[in-house]
Structure 1
C-alpha cells in the first residue's frame, strides 16, 4: 500500500511538472517580448541588448519573438520609469538599463521607481566605465585635471559622465568643466575627436578598446576607472577609490564604483509571476552559455560573465541600502556645477 502511494505521489509530481512546462510554453508561443533598451543606438548597452534579443528566443519555451526598441533619456531613467510604472507585469516587457539607475535612485529620491522591486533576471557582464581624454589635448592625467580647467562631455545630469567629474572636483580638487546635452556615447566620441571637448567623464571601456585606431595609435588616455578596484583590461589605470584621502570619501567613491559590478543586465517590471520569473531566469542562464553568443559578444569586447537573477537581486538590494550619511555626502558632491 505504501509503495502504491509513493508511486502515485511521484506520478502526480511528474504530471504537475509537465503541466507547468507546457503552460509556460503555451503562454509564450506565438507572442512577442518587447525589450526596452534604456540607451541610444550603437553603444555597448544597445549592442549587448540586441545580442540578447537575438538569442533569447532560442531558450524561452515557446520561442517568442523578442523585439528591441530604444528608449534613451536621463541615463536610462526614462526607460526605467516607463517599465516600472506602465508596463504590465506579464513577462512580455523586459528592460536593459545602464547600471547607474540603482545609484540614481539614491541621488534622486523623486525618481519614480525602486531598484530593488524590479524583477531582476540576470547579468550578462560587469561593465567597466572609465574617464578618458584625447591625447592631443593638454589633459593626459588626473594631475593635469587638478592643474587646469579641462572640458569633458556628458549626457544628462544624472549619468556618471557628469556626476563623477563633479564628485572628483569636490573631493580631490580637479577642475573638470562638464558640457552636458550629448544624446549618447557615440556623439561624445565624435566631439572629443573633433576637439570640441578634451575628454569624457565616463565611457564604456569595451567601446574604447574596440576602437582599434584609438588603441593602436595611442589616441586616448584612460584617466581612471569608475570601479572599486583596478581592472585587468586596463591595469595601469587607477580605480577611482584610490583618489580618496579619508574613509568617508572612499565610501562615497566606492558607491559610485558599484555600477561596475551591477553591469549589463536584463530585468522586468515588479510583480512578474514567480513561475514566469523562474522560466526567464533559467532561460537567461542557459542563453549565457551559448558558444555562438559568447563568440559574437567577444568580437565587440563584451566578455560574458553572468550572474543569476537571485544573486543580482541581492546585489542590487545591497547597493540600494547605504548609510544615510554616505548618501547625503554623495548627493552633495554630485550636484550640478
Structure 2
C-alpha cells in the first residue's frame, strides 16, 4: 500500500486536505464490523461490499469483514464506544433499529454506547413476519396466541422490538426466544420449527419461507394473503408505536462510521458508498445473490435519525421500555 501511495502522490497533484486524507486512510486497512453472525443479509452485503469498496477509498486499503454478534447489535455499539478510530478505518454494519436507540438514550444496560454517522443503506423495506413453509399458514389468532414463539437475535434488534410492539399493542402473551447470533441462525431455527415466527429481518433465501404477516400496507396488494398488523390495532397510541417501530427497520442494511469522524473524511466515505452502488462488478455480485438492492442515501438516514432524536418524549420512553 505504501508503494501505491508513493506512485499516486508522484503522479497526481492534490489539495492539502485530500493529501492529508490520503495519508490518513492509507495508514490502516478498513474493517467492516458486522453486528451479527455470519450468513445473514447484513453479513452477505458487507462481504460483497468489502470486495469492491477499496477502489473508491484513498490509498485503496484492504477491506476486511469481522463479525461481532451479540444482543441484536448492542454488543457492537458498546465496543464501538470504547474504540478510538475516527478516521474511517472502521465501518459499522448494524441495524437501524439499534442505532436510533443511540439518539434516544446514552447507555445500554449501564454501558455507554457509540454515536454513529450513516454512510447510506443498501436496502429499504417495510417489515414482515416470516414462518416456515413446512407448516400451515398462520392466521391472526395464531400470531398472538400464548403458545406462539417468536425468534430474536437480541433486545437491540428489530426481531425483538417488533414482536414486543405487537405484545403491547394487542395485549398478547406469546413467547420471544432470544440468543440467536444473527439472521442466518434465527432463520435456521425457524426452518427446523424451533420457533414459529421471525419479524423485522428478511431471509437470504426467501423462497424457503412464507410471509406470515406484514406490519403495514405499504407496497402490498389491496387484499394481501396474510394479516396486516396495523389493521389489527384500534387505538391511536398503539398505531403510533407500531409505526415508529416499523420506520426503524426501513433502512434495512445501513453502514455507519463513528460520529466523531471528521467532516472531510465522512464526505469522502459517503461518496465512496454512492460510487460502490453503481460499480458494475459490485452489481454483478449482488445480482448473483438475488438479494434486493434498493439504496437510501446518507442524507435520508440523517433525517430519519433526527426524527427519533426529536420525537415525542412519551413515545420515545415507550420504545425504550420495550427493549430494555
What TM-score range do you get, normalising by the shorter chain?
0.7 to 0.9
* Residues 121 and 255 in structure 2, CA contact (< 8 A), matched pair in contact too: yes
CA apart distance, 1:292? 2.3
Q: Does the alignment pair 1:157 with 2:155?
A: yes
SS at 1:262 equivalent: coil
RMSD, aligned CA? 2.9
CA apart distance, 1:108? 6.1
Give 2:120's aligned residue. Answer: 122
The verdict on how the C-alpha distance between 1:248 and 1:92 changes in structure 2, with shifts beyond 3 A counting, is same
CA distance in 1, matches of 2:135, 2:118: 41
The verdict on how the C-alpha distance between 1:276 and 1:142 changes in structure 2, with shifts beyond 3 A counting, is same
CA-to-aligned-CA distance 1:16-62 (integer Å, 9 cap, x gap): 96443333333333631122111110000001111111111011122
CA distance in 1, matches of 2:44, 2:81: 23
Output the TM-score relative to the length of structure 2: 0.83
Give 1:7's aligned residue. Answer: none
CA apart distance, 1:76? 1.0
Give 1:311's aligned residue. Answer: 300
* Residues 34 and 65 in structure 2, CA contact (< 8 A), matched pair in contact too: yes
Q: Does the alignment pair 1:31 with 2:21?
A: no
Equivalent of 2:236, from 237, 240, 247? 247
Give 2:113's aligned residue. Answer: 113
Q: Which moved more, 1:156-165 or 1:16-25?
A: 16-25
CA distance in 1, matches of 2:133, 2:203: 19
* Residues 45 and 264 in structure 1, CA contact (< 8 A), matched pair in contact too: yes
CA distance in 1, matches of 2:13, 2:302: 28
SS at 1:56 equivalent: helix
The verdict on how the C-alpha distance between 1:133 and 1:108 changes in structure 2, with shifts beyond 3 A counting, is farther
The verdict on how the C-alpha distance between 1:311 and 1:147 changes in structure 2, with shifts beyond 3 A counting, is closer
Give 1:11's aligned residue. Answer: none
* Residues 167 and 173 in structure 2, CA contact (< 8 A), matched pair in contact too: yes
Equivalent of 2:277, from 273, 283, 288? 288
CA apart distance, 1:286? 0.9
CA distance in 2, matches of 1:187, 1:196: 11
CA distance in 1, matches of 2:247, 2:314: 17
Give 2:54's aligned residue. Answer: 57
Q: Which ranges in structure 1 are unaligned for 5 or more consecutive residues?
A: 1-14, 215-219
Give 2:179's aligned residue. Answer: 181
Q: Does the alignment pair 1:190 with 2:179?
A: no
* Residues 87 and 93 in structure 1, CA contact (< 8 A), matched pair in contact too: no
CA apart distance, 1:326? 1.4
The verdict on how the C-alpha distance between 1:148 and 1:206 changes in structure 2, with shifts beyond 3 A counting, is closer
SS at 1:268 equivalent: strand
* Residues 129 and 197 in structure 2, CA contact (< 8 A), matched pair in contact too: yes
Q: Does the alignment pair 1:132 with 2:95?
A: no
Q: Does the alignment pair 1:330 with 2:322?
A: no
CA apart distance, 1:156? 2.1
Give 2:197's aligned residue. Answer: 199
Q: Which moved more, 1:88-97 or 1:125-134?
A: 125-134
* Residues 139 and 198 in structure 1, CA contact (< 8 A), matched pair in contact too: no
SS at 2:60 equivalent: coil
CA apart distance, 1:246? 2.1
Give 2:98's aligned residue. Answer: 101
The verdict on how the C-alpha distance between 1:238 and 1:62 changes in structure 2, with shifts beyond 3 A counting, is farther
Q: Does the alignment pair 1:82 with 2:71?
A: no
Q: Which ranges in structure 2 are unaligned for 5 or more consecutive residues?
A: 1-11
Q: Does the alignment pair 1:264 with 2:262?
A: no
Output the TM-score relative to the length of structure 1: 0.80
The verdict on how the C-alpha distance between 1:154 and 1:29 changes in structure 2, with shifts beyond 3 A counting, is closer
Give 1:321's aligned residue. Answer: 310
